[in-house]
Structure 1
């Protein structure tokens, strides 16, 4: 149930090459010179993962056991959470000026 909940929370971020919120978090801090490279880092994993994941999952289930999918996802999830906490800036801490009319 926890794995399904985590997967469901990733869908809005994973669609459309990292989703609008994920793109904004990354592109907000990108310089003009880094902009194209930042978009590439967002797009390529979203394009490659749907192709490789079913193949790797099928190989794992065929030659090992379906249990290994769950065993491998736990450490991968922990690494992803730690990496995200260290790499993604806290955009809530920044003050954005109000729009005046």
Structure 2
């Protein structure tokens, strides 16, 4: 990642974090990163590679996200991610 890309990534991550805090959802930095990359459309394997973590770790973070976001399971998580993708394009015109 270039310095500019890293700066943009950190800015988007902070906007996502602030958006969730307004909804009284507190995530760890790693959970936030996993959610960010899920919203960006990455698979579990791609997220694991991006964050240099094991696949099992990513799945654990997703399970924690499901609990903290008060979702009922993976399908609701996917629906939540799709909703976030539509309403908060992190890399495009709209922003969080």
User: TM-score, normalization: structure 1?
Assistant: 0.28
Instruction: Report which structure shows greater RCO (CA 8 Å, sep ≥6).
Output: 2
User: TM-score, normalization: structure 2?
Assistant: 0.29
Q: Which has the larger radius of gyration?
A: 1
